[in-house]
Structure formats: C-alpha cells, structure tokens
Amino acid sequence: MMLMFNTLEDILLACAESIRPPERLTVAEAAEKYRVLNNPGSYVGPWRNEIAPYLVEIMETMTSTAHTGLIFAGPAPCGKSDIFFNWLTHTAVCDPADMLLVHMTQGTARDWSIGDLRKAFRHTKALGGRVVPGRQNLNVHDIRFLSGMRLLIKWPTITELSGKTVPRVWFMDYDRMPSDVDKEGPPFDLGRKRTQTFGRYGMTVAESSPGHEIEHPRWSPASPHEAPPTQGVLALYNRGDRRRFYWRCARCRRPFEADFKHITYPASADRLEAAEQATLNCPHCNFGHTHEAGSGQPGKAELNHGGQWIKDGMVWREDGSVVGTPIRSDIASFWRKGVAASFASWKDLVFKYLKAVEEFEKTGDVGALKATINTDQGHPFLNPALAGERLPEDLKNRATDLGEQVVPNGVRFLVAAIDVQKNAFVVQIHGIGVGGDVTVIDRFTIKRSRRHDPDDESQILWVNPGTHAEDWQTLVDEVIEKTYPLDDSSGRHMSIKVVVCDSGGREGVTANAYTFWRWLRDEHPADHHRRFQLVKGVPNRDAPRVRISYPDSERKDRKAGAGDQLEPDQGSGLRDAGADGPQRRHGQFPGLAGGMVLRRTDRREPRGEGVGKPQASAQRGVGFALLHGRRLPAPALRRNREHRLARPAVVGARVG
C-alpha cells in the first residue's frame, strides 16, 4: 500500500487516525451519532434506536467483558443485519479492532460486500471516510481502514475459519450455513477459536432466523425460556442465558412474551379480512391489543418501547423490578419472535400464515408453511406429520383430581395391565368407561417374591419371571384378586374384570407365563384363568389390532400347549388410539399420576417397519387396556346402551 502526500499536513492528518484516543461510546450510542440510513420508500436519515428499541440491549452487550459470545435468533427482517453495521461503525470510529464477517457462501459474501457494505460506506461518512483510499484497499473480501484495522469477509470453510487471530467475529444468517464445516465442527465453535487469544475482550456473534426442524416432537421445556431441540441458532441460544422479549399488558399490566401464539383472528373464508382483524391477546386477562395505537390501545410501537429482555430464571414483576436467579453463561443469547418486529405488521404475519396453511391443506406441500413459521414468526418448524404426537404436558393438562386409587363414576369395569421386567412386574390398573374411555386408577410395581434367601431366611428375594415360575403366583393376591373402592362412599368395591399380561421378553418368560396360565386353569380353585389373558406384540403395522390365536401344540418350538390363548396386538395402532379426533376413545390421567405415567404414555415414533423405541422405556399399560377395549365393538360402549361386560359398577362390584 502506497499513499501519495503533497504536504506535511497531509501526512499528519493520515497518521492522526491511528493514534487518536478511542471515543467512549457504546455501540447503540455510536449508531445514533454516526450511522445514516438511506432506504428510499422506507426511511432515510440518521439511525434512531427508537425504531427498534429491542436492539439496544443486544448492542450494549456486544462490548461487555462478561460475555465472549452473543446469539440473536429472530425473524427476517427485524434488524439483525443492522446490528452488524452499527457494530462495524462503532469499531471503526470508536474502538478499532480487526473483524471477520462470515457469510453463508462465497457467492453471497461477494454480493453482500459489493452491495450492502458499499452502500453503508457511501451513506455513513464516518465509516466510509475511515477506509484507506485506493481500490487495492477496498477489495471484495479484505478492507483496510486508516486506523490499521481490517474487515475480512469470508464464508464457512475450514480454511477460512483456521489460521486467523481476530477479536471480533460475526456469522450472518447462521442457519443457512452447513452445520458441520468439513467435518471439523459447527461454524460458531470454529469461529470462536479465532477470538480465544483475546480472552474476555473477544466476541463471537451469530444471528439468524430459525431454519432447522424440531427434532423431538415429544420435547417439553425444562425451563420457561428453553428452545426446542433443533440445530443451528436455537441450539446456540440454549447454550446462553436465554433472554426473551416481554411486553406489559395495557389493561392488567402483567408481563407476557410477544408471540404469534397469542394472536387471534376471526374465522373467515376471506383470508385478508381475517388478517386485518388480528389482535394480540394478553394470556392473563385476554385483553386484545391492536397493531396500531388508538383509544385505550398503545399499539405495537409503544409496547416495544415499554418492553424488556428477561433472562431465563428471572421474573419481571408488576412494580418493574426483575427478580430471580438467571442462568450463568459466557454467551448472551436473545430470541425475539416476529410479533414484536418493527418491520412487519400482524396483518402480514396472519395473512401469510393462513395462505400457507391453505396451500398445505390443498397440496400437502409444507414449503410455504415452513418459510412463514421460520422467517416471519421466528419459530422453528415442526412438521405437521409429527404435530399430532402427544406431548407430556398435553396429557398433564387432561389430568383431573379423581381421588387416590378409587373407581370414579362412569367406569364400567377394570382392566389390569402387567408389563414383565427382569426383576419386577409393573402393574397399571385402568377403568374402562362409557364410550370406551380409559381412566388410570393405580400403578405399582411387584418386586418381592415369596422365596427366601437360603443363606438368610430373613431376606426375601426379588421376583425373577424368567427363571422362577413360582414367582408368577404372586399375581393372584396382588393383582387378580385385588379390588378398588367406588368413589360414592358406599363401601362397595369393584374387582378386576380382566388381567392382561405381556408374555414376551427375556429368556424363560414365555414358558413361565404359559405355565402360570395352566396352573390357574388346572390347579387354582377360583377359575382365574378365564380372566387372565396373555398377549404378545406384533411388529407388523398392517396386522389386525386385536386377534385371539391358539398356538400349535404340535410344533416343538412352541412353548404353549393346545388351548392356551395368545392374543397379539399391533402396538402402533393402539398407541395412536389416544389421539384427539372424532370417534376416538380417550384416556383420563388422575392428578396423582404425576409426570411418570404421563411421560410413559407418549406415542412411539414410527420408524420404518413397526414402531421405534422412545428414549425412555415405554409403558405398555394403556395400550393393553385399549387392546381389551377393542374386543368390545365400538357401539357396545356408547352412552345410550350397555354391553354385557360393561354394565354399571354394581354389576362388577362387591362389598369389601
């Protein structure tokens, strides 16, 4: 680089920039003082923080020595790229330091440099005037400033993210980059290594609208601000302190997050008419806020001015104080939804969403729906094919206080379901009611056998269904003959009509299961074999949901003898039976069940042939209960008639 000077004064002026002391301004203050926008038809003039007040805290955090990383997830557009230009202006004018901007690809990096960046240099004189004169200093991917700082414009490859020492790194539109750069790791982690030498004075920033699908539809948040499990910018957001933007209701003054789920609109065949009447309702008092200001209405702009970023674990009280224990992290992470965006109206959000839903319903194409949810609403996308998965919180919302281990009104008979484990029988009792609905009555585990340790008679051994056939006899007293009181305070008890037991699993379980059934039939005097039903799962999704079969006693590989009943079930269909919809049978989950039962009744995800296993062991009890509900034809449990097995509680009850 060679500069030509005519006088000594020219030399001194050129050198002054490199020795000038830094101006003590924050990024937000420098933006208001120096940056100029020139967007004809939108806005022309100096940058004003009041345009997008939710950006101020993000900009203030970029110079914080308490954080070395910053994540901003939000819709497009919402000012994410403006933050970079404000940071660049602050760096060039107030605090010179080398910067690295990583764009999506080499092509988009070139387009951005020639377009948006050159435009910023032209209109923000304080920024463009600090670029070293000469075409050789204003390259597409390498720009030099009079202070000595450089701006590098690169793309996500391992060569571009290696071998550099830069204190400030920015990833633009992170979710449109490869998640794994040349099998070396995520771009953010590779870029953050470039700033490590500078310690707490280094800063790595990633911004993007969500672009990856939710990976686990049954996920439920462990904390109020946790983002769904997905790759990209929201995965980075979860690493940080998880800040979200809250508004205060104009009527009740209670805080709530500005989110598309709170928007309401009338049902209308005219999508535009419905969108024009969209309001955002307070989740506490249901007050409908309008987009524009009016009588008693602050409007979105005023709501944004009064809004505040709240960290996960903190609560914004009505008196304005923020209390709680925030998550501690060296990454400041922000997630702002599309409802609060200064550059998009609620009418546009709703109209695009309704048109995308309409297209999906007509064609089955999710492209437009995914685009508006990601880029307009600022949410990760959940494929509608998986949206029907039952979440634990959905089941929890159905929970009702039915009392502890009592038979509620409406239950016609009881079904016990037994899942055989290595050293336990897991038992769940269900009440089958009108319409075939299932109510969970009780759940317990049988672990102790009737056998004693030969070396210590005081010690009772655990049950082992696969090795000790006699352990199965504990089911008579503890399950088959068990009764439950009715909730009418009459003192009457209801016995168990049917006991359904898994006959597969570990080696020896099947043989001992049939031995126990024959013992009930041939030796036990109570004729319990008529109520004890062995079942076996069938992996074929096209198989009948319920079928009674009689194993062939002539085959040597069969452990069952002639006359032994084996009832296969097609598991995936039964697990689907709890879904909402017409002609569906439902399950009631008592409040006492807690999270354990609810988590274990999740549907398993379809995976190729058969049913895929969830991460936690599946509870088969509800499926077994539904299986025996299926043995009754659907009309049999309608509310206006009674099946012979489903008469009122008195039929199956006895005084305890």
Residue with tokens 């539109």: 173
Percent of the chain with pLDDT over 70: 76
Contact 84, 101 (CB under 8 A): yes
Backbone angles phi, psi at 208, to 5 degrees: 180, 160
Give mean pLDDT, residues 580-604.
47
Confidence bin at 174 (pLDDT 50/70/90)? very high
Cα–chain center distance at 469 = 45
Average pLDDT, the chain: 82
Tokens of 610: 């058969």
Give mean pLDDT, residues 403-415.
84
Residue 242: strand pairing partners: none
Confidence bin at 571 (pLDDT 50/70/90)? very low
* pLDDT of res. 57: 96
Give mean pLDDT, residues 337-361.
91
Range in 151-155, 453-457, 589-593 with the lowest mean pLDDT? 589-593
* pLDDT of res. 564: 53
* Neighbouring C-beta atoms of residue 272, cutoff 10 Å: 12
Q: Please, what is the Cα angle at 651 between 645 and 656, to 5 degrees? A: 125
Give the whole-angstrom CA distance, residue 356 versus residue 451.
65
Q: How many CA atoms lie within 13 A of 319 on its CB side?
A: 2
* pLDDT of res. 88: 97
Q: Residue 391: is its pLDDT beyond 60? A: no
Contact 178, 106 (CB under 8 A): no
Q: Residue 627: is its pLDDT beyond 60? A: no
* pLDDT of res. 393: 52
Give mean pLDDT, residues 473-481.
94
Taking alpha carbons only, the member of 27, 182, 161 closest to residue 100 is: 161
Taking alpha carbons only, the member of 522, 516, 499, 501 closest to residue 560 is: 516
Residue 568: strand pairing partners: 536
Give the whole-angstrom CA distance, residue 75 versus residue 213.
15
The larger pLDDT score, comparing residue 257 to residue 564, is at 257
The larger pLDDT score, comparing residue 234 to residue 137, is at 234
Give the whole-angstrom CA distance, residue 136 versus residue 264.
55
Range in 155-164, 430-439, 519-528 with the lowest mean pLDDT? 430-439
* pLDDT of res. 562: 47
Confidence bin at 71 (pLDDT 50/70/90)? very high
* Cα–Cα separations (whole angstroms), residue 390 to 395, 401, 605: 7, 21, 11
Q: Residue 56: is its pLDDT beyond 90? A: yes
Give the whole-angstrom CA distance, residue 609 versus residue 197.
52
* pLDDT of res. 599: 46
Confidence bin at 403 (pLDDT 50/70/90)? low
pLDDT digits (tens, 9 = 90+) for 133-173: 877 788 899 999 988 899 999 999 999 999 999 999 999 99
Contact 499, 481 (CB under 8 A): no
* Global confidence as pTM: 0.64
* pLDDT of res. 546: 55
Backbone angles phi, psi at 211, to 5 degrees: -135, 0
* pLDDT of res. 513: 92
Q: Where are the alpha helices (DSSP H) in 467-586?
A: 474-475, 509-522, 571-576
Range in 287-296, 452-461, 613-622 with the lowest mean pLDDT? 613-622
Tokens of 122: 């032209």
Percent of the chain with pLDDT over 90: 56
pLDDT digits (tens, 9 = 90+) for 379-388: 999 988 776 5
Which residues make Cβ contacts (< 8 Å) with residue 584, sequence separation at least 6? 577, 578
Give the whole-angstrom CA distance, residue 636 versus residue 626.
14
Confidence bin at 626 (pLDDT 50/70/90)? low
Q: Residue 320: is its pLDDT beyond 60? A: yes
* pLDDT of res. 215: 87
Handedness of CA 20, 26, 32, 38 (dihedral sign): positive
Backbone angles phi, psi at 380, to 5 degrees: -75, 155
Contact 156, 172 (CB under 8 A): no
Could you give all domains of the chain from N- to C-terminal order, each with its CATH number? 24-246+311-343 (3.40.50), 411-535 (3.30.420)
pLDDT digits (tens, 9 = 90+) for 72-92: 999 987 888 899 999 999 999
Which residues make Cβ contacts (< 8 Å) with residue 261, sequence separation at least 6? none
Q: Which residue type, as a one-letter code, is found at position 626? A: L
pLDDT digits (tens, 9 = 90+) for 640-654: 444 444 444 443 444
